[in-house]
A and B are shown apart, each in its own frame.
Chain A
């Protein structure tokens, strides 16, 4: 049994896993289990079964290619980048890319109350985000849910920091406008 404590950083665990420690890899798995599937579900594929399959594949790839991870960036963003590549492949090959509908089509306003204050508004927030164009949705999800810094978001997406910052702003602007248009 691996003697390393449960408070070890992701990067330490990854380094040890790279040395062959399966327990350390298991700890990493425990930390991010289901997180990848949820990321895929929110960002790419709305079919959760597919997201789970892709998550399993991502863990396999991560194990296979731990040797290429040199700790130059957070393990979380490295793992998300692998997951994202798999998802893009999947979308490309299966031609099942979700077609973003317009925000107004997806968001059905209910006139009696404010959409942001309604009881079911949490679910509507999710719907609003899913209706964002893909290039705005991805950085928003990575930033809002996974707490990646803008620099890390840019790394995962393979874009510049300024571009990532701009997309985040456009995503927020689009979401705010959708809420405003839905208000009575």
Chain B
């Protein structure tokens, strides 16, 4: 082997090794978080955690049934707010990509994406809590929904841009109007990806605490009313974690475990859905 070849092999090996080391480094925190949470959380988990209400301090056991239901309701409300607005804006930005309004929307979405979640919570507080003088599930859903919008706008836009222009030409050449081409050909072609984007966005906001602190607030009791304060896993974990009671600490670990498990489940669901839809398109 010539010297040059040896040198190239060595450099290649070095670079590959460096890349591999970076990947491992990036995964270490995730590994630590997962093992730590699960080791502390699993022992505290039981069926009762999902079915029972919180118990007063000093009484062992109890669960977070109300918080689990609350998180589901809040995430559902957020999706109701964000999915239609996000997808329709995404279509606009993709279809009229060179217009001024489109660049403005794109820019605002990026800014909104960077706004700290506590600030979005403050906004929802001013817009949906102060006027009614009451914390509510609706205000919490609004805050989470606002956080989701920019993610969905950009995902939708990117995925629509990936749809080959030839499909649009094909639809137009058959006499379809532009709107019809978008809704019958281009959007369906991008839908699997958009759906994944929505699920990923849902998984992300399901773990938010800050925007809920003074919008949905918290609730020690079972409530599914949208105009009342509502419990959520994240706020409950926060409340329990900063309390001085060992029982509550254990409950907080269990809550964190459930939260991580749920988000993992969402992500897996997203991937499975994408695969299934893609297969449907292919065969």
Partners in one complex: no
